[in-house]
A and B are shown apart, each in its own frame.
Chain A
């Protein structure tokens, strides 16, 4: 991975929470349309890494550069970063539970985000068709008028992935998408993510090694806030350090 075709480049980033270094001189880069898995023990800083990229947490030092113009994401608000093309799925499913599946997808659909344009916006036929198509993809086609709070845990995770796809981001950050899913649901999720990675970069954080194996992509191991190892899954699983801090537990 050279800096030339990187979509996201994180270099020398550190974050300290009350004296505790959650991210320690982390450097990391993702290419356009790359699928990447991140693994690491609890507290390794995986979620914090996503917080930094999406503007939720400001690092103490380091650079986060985005796109072919190498724009810095650090001065931007969460909403601006999202509009620039970074989408994020949280560790726990977060959908708008008091609203229907259709309303959730319409909210995420890539359209103007300002208050005035939203006030006068009404869905076109194309918008509704796109929502139907997405619902089909995430297996919720027959659930559109249901309040999303009533969906099962797995369905909520998919709805959230559907909302991410609706945003049409260039980079998708996905935090533990398979947590709490049944085996069948996990397989569907793998398919969704691999499909998504054909048109955009996708970074998946996951603890489940079988899930990672099915993704069949380059793996980065985080430990104590920095990269411990990087490579294919087979390569990683043979690394003695990785076995010691993560796999051997």
Chain B
């Protein structure tokens, strides 16, 4: 069974090989474990990029394979970050509080420690009590479980309501945007218990490991992110390789027909929506310790739209396409917006990339959509000499998320 899986999806070995090579190269050039050619801050950027690739793959599963244009998956990503961030912040603050109380004559009670932690964390928003959502924050395993459960349950409930009423196409996309916006607005409030617009910070430090320099720690997270992406690719490739993938593509192109074959389309949509939300949550939990900070701005509706843009530019309906798109666009984007791209002086006007990058990105998105629907992943088809079918402009099915002529490849 395993051998036939690899034979059917040769891209898996290529992908894992390339990822391993990349990880090794970065390790050998890192400050923590190698020559120091790559600065620690860039190692973090690369590690974060791997996490974005992981969430882009989840997006490809839900949009590229199942045809559901969810514009809310970055909310699940951020929620995963918040859940792990709570533990990171609590555990580190707890150590500081215990040290501070160590000088007092009597050993501190657990209640005193909790109160101390609460004051430290919630002083900024004028609180001194630990909100109920922090009840499990002292436990790493409990918060790890929440990384999976919170995005998973929200996706399950939202998806159940939406798919049951057969909301599709643009309406579903708008609903997911509304969900993202509602979550962001809720988190912006101080009394939500997640420090309002301050968000959670200091996440780059693992509790009790103050002695470990960031150059080393950043590599640990980089490896974890690479492992996460590799495992995620294996899982997604396995899911889409067999009949399950066949059903998903069928739903994407003609969901009514799938129903008449006896498949409960809604159950499949709900399953994929929930699983991809969980993958997004896990990716977020790996991302935010490298970013160091998370705030409600991360749930801005635009973030989820970017995610769709990455997948479109990479080429939807092929997992490596999503990875290439996310890596390429997010790295180029951080180059342009980070002030590293040189300004272009036209004499009468100076193009500052910080201002112009979004316009370039928007135009590239339009160009790819119109002229190269297969995206960057389509370059692989050029190498493999796979043809695009000539369907005289007809889509591959009547469903709203169906493949367009240019996205398909003939065998």
- CB within 8 Å of B: which residues of A? 54, 56, 77-80, 82-83, 87-88, 90, 94, 96-100, 103, 106-108, 113-115, 118-119, 121-123, 145-147, 149-150, 163, 167
Within 8 A of A (CB), among B64-96: none
Interface string of B222-260 (1 = CB under 8 A from A): 000000000000000001001110110110011011011
Chain A min CB distance to B237 (Å): 13
Query: When chains A and B are docked, how far (Å) is the Cα of A83 from the Cα of B264?
Result: 10
Whether A122 contacts B1 by the Cβ 8 Å rule is yes
Nearest CB of chain B from residue A117's CB, rounded to whole Å: 10
Q: Would you mind naming 19 contact pairs between A and B with Cβ atoms under 8 Å apart?
A: A77-B259, A77-B264, A80-B264, A90-B257, A94-B254, A96-B397, A97-B396, A97-B397, A98-B253, A98-B396, A106-B243, A107-B261, A114-B264, A114-B267, A118-B244, A121-B243, A123-B243, A149-B391, A150-B389
With A94-B254, A96-B397, A115-B271 already in contact, the answer to whether A149 and B260 are too (CB < 8 A) is no
Q: Are A99 and B257 in contact (CB under 8 A)?
A: no
Docked pose: A150 CA to B259 CA in angstroms: 24
Interface of B with A (CB < 8 Å)? 1, 4, 239, 242-244, 246-247, 249-250, 253-254, 256-257, 259-265, 267-268, 271, 389, 391, 396-397, 403, 408, 410-411
Contact of A83 with B1 at beta-carbon distance under 8 Å, contacts A96-B253, A118-B243, A149-B396 already known = no
With a cutoff of 8 Å between Cβ atoms, the chain B residues found around residue A150 in the complex are: 389, 410-411
> Which label, helix, strand, loop or mixed, suits the secondary structure of the B interface?
helix
Q: Are B389 and A147 in contact (CB under 8 A)?
A: yes
A118 to B247, CA, bound (A): 9
B67 CB to closest chain A CB (Å) equals 11
8 further contact pairs, Cβ within 8 A, besides A82-B261, A99-B250: A78-B259, A79-B264, A82-B259, A94-B254, A94-B257, A98-B408, A122-B243, A147-B410
Minimum CB–CB distance for A215 against chain B, Å: 23
Q: Are B261 and A108 in contact (CB under 8 A)?
A: yes
Closest to B411 in A: A147
CA distance A108 to B411 in the complex (A): 21
Contact, CB under 8 Å: A107 / B246: yes
State A48–B54 Cα separation when bound (angstroms).
45
A78 touches B260 (CB 8 A): yes
Of B264, B389, B403, which is in contact with the most chain A CB atoms at under 10 Å from its CB?
A: B264
CB neighbours of A107 from chain B (8 A): 243, 246-247, 250, 261
Which of chain A's residues have a CB closer than 8 A to the CB of B403? 98
CA distance A87 to B260 in the complex (A): 7
The listed residue with most A CB atoms (<10 A of its CB), out of B4, B260, B411, is B260
The 10 tightest CB contacts between A and B, nearest first, are: A82-B262, A78-B259, A83-B262, A97-B396, A79-B264, A115-B271, A119-B244, A96-B250, A98-B396, A94-B257
Write the chain B residue with the least CB distance to A103: B246
Chain A hits for B253, CB < 8 A: 96-98
CB pair B243–A79 under 8 Å, yes or no, is no
Query: Does B246 contact A113, Cβ atoms closer than 8 Å?
Result: no
Pick from B244, B262, B403 the residue with the most CB of A within 10 Å.
B262
User: Which residues of A sit under 8 angstroms from B267, Cβ to Cβ?
Assistant: 114-115
B411 touches A146 (CB 8 A): yes
- On chain B, the residues within 8 Å of A108 by CB distance are 261
Main SS of the interface on chain A?
Answer: mixed
**Given that A113-B263, A119-B244, A149-B396 are contacting pairs, would A99 and B410 also be in contact in the complex, using a CB cutoff of 8 Å?**
no
A249 to chain B, nearest CB (A): 31
CB closest residue in chain B, given A92:
B398
Shortest beta-carbon distance, B292 to chain A, in Å? 38
Residues of B within 8 A of A122 (CB): 1, 4, 242-243
Residues of chain B contacted by A103 (CB below 8 angstroms): 246
Q: Is the CB of B268 within 8 A of A56?
A: no
Known contacts A96-B253, A146-B411; is-contact A167 B246 (Cβ 8 Å):
no
Instruction: State A113–B262 Cα separation when bound (angstroms).
Output: 7
Nearest CB of A to B298, in Å: 31
- What B residues does A54 contact at CB under 8 A? 260
A80 vs B389: C-alpha distance when bound (angstroms)? 35
A145 to B253, CA, bound (A): 19
B391 contact set on A, CB distance < 8 A? 149
Say yes or no: A79-B259 contact (C-beta < 8 A), given A97-B397, A115-B244, A146-B411: yes
Query: Which residues of B sit under 8 angstroms from A118, Cβ to Cβ?
Result: 242-244, 247, 263
CA distance A115 to B263 in the complex (A): 9
> CB-CB < 8 A to A99: which residues of B?
246, 249-250
- Is the CB–CB distance between A149 and B259 below 8 Å? no
Of A79, A87, A97, A149, the contact of B263 (CB 8 Å cutoff): A79
Across the interface, B408 reaches (CB within 8 A) one of A79, A115, A123, A149, namely: A149
Determine whether the beta carbon of A98 is less than 8 Å from that of B249: yes
Instruction: Let me know if A149 and B261 touch, CB within 8 A.
Output: no
* Distance in Å: Cβ of B407 to nearest Cβ of chain A: 9
Please, which residues of chain B bring their CB within 8 A of the CB of A145? 411
**Assembly CA distance A103 to B391 (angstroms):** 20
Query: Considering residues A99, A122, A149, which has the most beta carbons from chain B within 10 angstroms of its beta carbon?
Result: A149
CB of B261 within 8 A of CB of A106, answer: no
Q: Are B256 and A56 in contact (CB under 8 A)?
A: yes
Greatest chain A CB density within 10 A among B243, B247, B254, B263 is at: B243
A48 → chain B closest CB, angstroms: 15
Give chain B nearest CB distance to A49 CB in angstroms: 15
In the complex, what distance in Å separates the CA atom of A106 from the CA atom of B250? 12
Q: Give chain A residues whose Cβ lies under 8 Å from the Cβ of B256.
A: 56, 78
